[in-house]
Amino acid sequence: MGSASPDLSVAAPISARPVVLLIEDEPQIRRFLHAALDGQGFRLIEAATGEEGLVAAATRQPEIIILDLGLPDMDGLDIIRRVREWSAIPIIILSARGQERDKIIALDAGADDYVAKPFGSGNSWRACGSLCVTRLVESANRASRSSLSVTCR
């Protein structure tokens, strides 16, 4: 009789979870943030070097980048500047550089937010994870609101 309609649900995206790129060389911090962000519904892509991070930023199209400034192969400030040449992806700095001057330089280079790494107790790590998740969600919300536009004709 009639032909069946094609199943269009197959074309739907595999995962609607927002993609976060974490560029961080410390495995302990990567594991911690992986658990914290996965628990909040984000999909984490990890890069241990600046070069890996730049490739992942260009090819994986994350919604947001969490970036350590002190990487083994390049300074995080250079990564910010290079990403800003072609993208407005929100960038949150997560760094042990906690001086006010360091924050200003990173924000002037194009970062959207700055979280100083706490060191010490488990409570400090949990607070850092909560703060990163909060700022990540806020940055993602700002980015999605700023990308919305309505044209009436």
Q: Count other Cβ atoms within 10 Å, centred on residue 54.
A: 18
- For residues 61 and 51, what is the distance between their CA atoms, to the nearest angstrom? 15
- For residues 129 and 134, what is the distance between their CA atoms, to the nearest angstrom? 9
Q: What is the pLDDT of residue 122?
A: 52
Is 5 exposed, middle or buried (CB count within 10 Å of its CB: 0-12, 13-18, 19+)? Answer: exposed
**Average confidence score pLDDT of the chain:** 77
Which residues in the chain come in under a pLDDT of 70? 1-15, 118-137, 139-153
- For residues 70 and 140, what is the distance between their CA atoms, to the nearest angstrom? 24
Entry field: residues in the chain: 153
